Amino acid sequence: MNFPDNLKYTKSHEWFRVEGDTGWVGITDYAQSELGDVVFVELPAVGTKVAQGKSFGTIEAVKAVSDIYAPVSGEVLEVNKDVQTSPDAVNKDPYGKGWMIKMRIGNPAELAGLFDATAYKKTIAK
């Protein structure tokens, strides 16, 4: 499994790439492998306010439907329309073309509660 060091991770298996006051959210390689073939992704509208730890969308796979949770609070700036039309991008490239939303970070202090790659690997090894 691949867990890039430049990302932050949540216990609910989302990744977060921070660039200044914005960030991109997706699900981890581990999460997509556990879900299986992704067939549908539901994402919020641009301008939606999201709260840390709260669901902002769903991802449907052959095996299950799962919520996608916000790593930090903020506002949705962009949604990845490609994963809505080609949801298999989540399986093929979870850290690249499989991203879900781009958001403005509302509370930078919340970043301190996210895992680095090493800590995240320990959470899934249990």
CA–CA separation, 112 and 34 (whole Å)? 26
Give yes or no for residue 25 having a pLDDT over 90. Answer: yes
Q: Which residues pair with 40 in a beta bridge?
A: 60
Residue with tokens 């730890």: 53
Detail the DSSP E strand segments found in 1-126: 8-9, 14-19, 22-27, 38-42, 49-50, 55-61, 65-69, 74-79, 101-105
Give yes or no for residue 49 having a pLDDT over 80. Answer: yes
Query: Token digits for 99?
Result: 């991203």
| pTM for this prediction | 0.95
Residue with tokens 């994963």: 83
Domains of the chain, earliest start first: 9-108 (2.40.50.100)
Query: Token digits for 125?
Result: 């090894």
Q: Which residues pair with 46 in a beta bridge?
A: none
Instruction: Note the pLDDT tens digit of each residue in 54-92.
Output: 999 999 998 889 999 999 999 999 999 999 999 999 999
Query: Token digits for 60?
Result: 């449907």
